Amino acid sequence: MDNQALPFRKLGNSDVSISALGLGCWQFSKGNGMVGKFWPSMKQEDINEIIKICYEGGINWFDTAEAYGKGQSEEALGDALNELGAEDALVATKWWPLLRTAKNIPRTIDQRLQALKGRKIDLYQVHQPYSFSSAEKEMNAMADLLEEGKIGHAGVSNFNAASMRKAHEALQKRGFQLSSNQVKYSLLDRRIEENGILEAAREIGATIIAYSPLEQGILSGKFHRQPELLKNLSGPRKHFSQFKGKALAKSLPLIDLLEKLGEEYGVKPGQVALNWLIRYHGDTVVAIPGASKLRHAKENIGTLRFSLSDAHMEEIDAMSKKVTKG
């Protein structure tokens, strides 16, 4: 067992160093907006404490979005970081493209900066590939903001491999590079390994930012061991197929393995799952688990305090593929 903390990585081909885990801040939406209603509303003092634990534990970047509570998550994050005095903490946020054109990117950037309470935007991402403009036009708008110094780096989210390459080429023409693609990726959802997204990221030197890395808590094993918790699910999660009995039974062998290895390393199953995710593909993949409770934040930090052996990573890989096939 290696007790050395995982080193920081570079964001894409930039000189910006990021921790292998960031904190996903969707849950700080305070119940506002269609997207924000996914999570129960949280008190600002609880948000402040979660961010403090993460920052002091070695997580140096925080991912939010305009769509998270219609800016409420950005405001909560900005307030928390400012109260903490975390001047060197990095902020990633996202522009919401639905029913908009690329011209909206520069028009709304000051709103994003205002919501973040004066924090810099170190990484600005196009949240979805669906808009009235092409990826090329969106990246040209991003390049304008880069030239103006209003954002540090440009990324995308949920883009397929072809759109990633188009975005990267458009930025290259302006002297910049695509830094990242934020996509769903976990031991129970490995589509990016098959659809070319991971390969494209490696080719262009972009970082993969994995969201839902614990599959909304499924990889923690709590729903397998305490099925009564399924009755307490709120929002859209209670309707998701992966929370149904058949899917939980199918993923049980993977949970069993994560628990077994967790006992060996003295950590929890979810920490094993996250450690695999941020190590198996070298420096290409980072992850942004959320935290709605203090213990979640502490568990996230614990993920950075050990390293799975190569043999154990291969064992997890094989079991993951076995339970996800078909």
| Residues assigned a catalytic role | 68
Buried b vs exposed e over 55-78: b needs ≥16 C-beta within 10 Å? bebbbbbbbbbbbbbbbbbbbbbb
Quick one: which of 254, 114, 268 has its CA closest to 187? 254
CB neighbours of 4 closer than 8 A, spacing ≥ 6?
307
Q: What is the distance between the terminal CA atoms of the chain, rounded to a whole angstrom?
A: 34
Q: Where are the beta strands (DSSP E) in the chain?
A: 9-10, 17-18, 23-24, 61-63, 90-95, 123-126, 154-157, 178-184, 207-211, 285-287
Residue 182 three-state SS? strand
| 3-state class (DSSP) for residue 94 | strand
Distance CA 150, CA 281 (A): 32
> In the beta sheet, which residues pair with residue 156?
126, 181
Q: Which of 144, 110, 117 is nearest to 48 (CA)?
A: 117
